[in-house]
A and B are shown apart, each in its own frame.
Chain A
């Protein structure tokens, strides 16, 4: 009887240890915060477009095909690093990509895109970071996959690397087949 009660804390401690061990070995990034907007519709917004002094109307951009939404800025070094993959999505996968130029100078952004290539079909200007807050963005670059029903299906925080690029391709395939 005496030993039985001594075993209870030991059992609980072992369970907690096992849970911690499991969390340690599974493939996950503990710093990654899941988006609260997954499976929710894209919020409607209007702003200036980076090109030709036109208006950017979100309702005209989403709802027809799978769209990649990429928050970027010229002052963000990782954005430059991931740009080749954003271009790959546009050139090789023929995906529609919307850029959101975050807290940046439009003139610099236009120059930047001229220099390294423009994979975006349209770029919305988010001068004060309000659109980013509506998308739950906390650290650019951030990239979202929006399906053909204007629903946010995936969010990735950080620069796209070759490994992430492959993951994106698989997800896009799945989303297109749904």
Chain B
């Protein structure tokens, strides 16, 4: 009985994972060249939907997300590199459009502060332990 329940829950989980990974790319958007399509999907997964904000344009069904997916595919078809596409988008929408912000002078604190706080925490715990002995 428990095994059956586990099997059902596991199947639902698998089913859900499979369908959410498909994203919102519509059939007419998909490029014929598989390697180019893969590049487009990888870029789209790192571009924030400016309307939904917590989704990538690959997952979003917003019209602007679709426009950007098509734009990325057109640029790939025209021989643009990934870097050129990212530059095109950040020039217009800023670094906010990147789901994973690049390591720059103005994002320095964003990347390093968690490590800094972790080190301070570890140091305090270490010293406390030492002093209490």
Chain A: minimal CB distance from B38 (Å): 23
User: How long is the Cα–Cα vector from A4 to B80 in the complex, in angstroms?
Assistant: 57
Q: Indicate with 1 or 0, residue by residue over B109-128, a CB within 8 angstroms of chain A CB atoms.
A: 00000000100110010011
Q: Which of B67, B95, B128 contacts A128 (CB 8 A)?
A: B67
Residue B12 interfacial (CB < 8 Å)? no
Q: Which of B51, B94, B128 contacts A5 (CB 8 A)?
A: B128
Interface size on A, as a range, is 20 to 34
Chain B: minimal CB distance from A30 (Å): 11
DSSP majority for the A interface?
A: loop
* Contact present for A12 and B67 (CB under 8 Å): no
Which single residue of chain B is at the shortest CB-CB distance from A128?
B67
Residue A105 interfacial (CB < 8 Å)? no
* Contact present for B124 and A9 (CB under 8 Å): yes
Residue A122 interfacial (CB < 8 Å)? no
Residues of chain A within 8 A of B124, CB atoms compared: 5-6, 8-9
Q: Which residues of A come within 8 Å of B, CB atoms?
A: 1-2, 5-6, 8-9, 12, 33-37, 103, 128-130, 133-136, 138-139
Q: Which residues of B come within 8 Å of A, CB atoms?
A: 50-51, 63-64, 67-68, 71, 90-96, 117, 120-121, 124, 127-128, 131-132
Closest 7 CB pairs of A and B: A36-B94, A138-B50, A136-B92, A5-B127, A2-B131, A136-B93, A129-B67
Question: Can you name 24 A-B residue pairings with CB atoms under 8 Å?
Answer: A1-B131, A5-B131, A6-B124, A8-B120, A9-B120, A12-B117, A12-B120, A33-B96, A35-B94, A36-B90, A36-B93, A36-B94, A37-B92, A103-B63, A129-B63, A129-B64, A130-B71, A133-B92, A134-B92, A135-B92, A136-B92, A136-B94, A138-B64, A139-B51
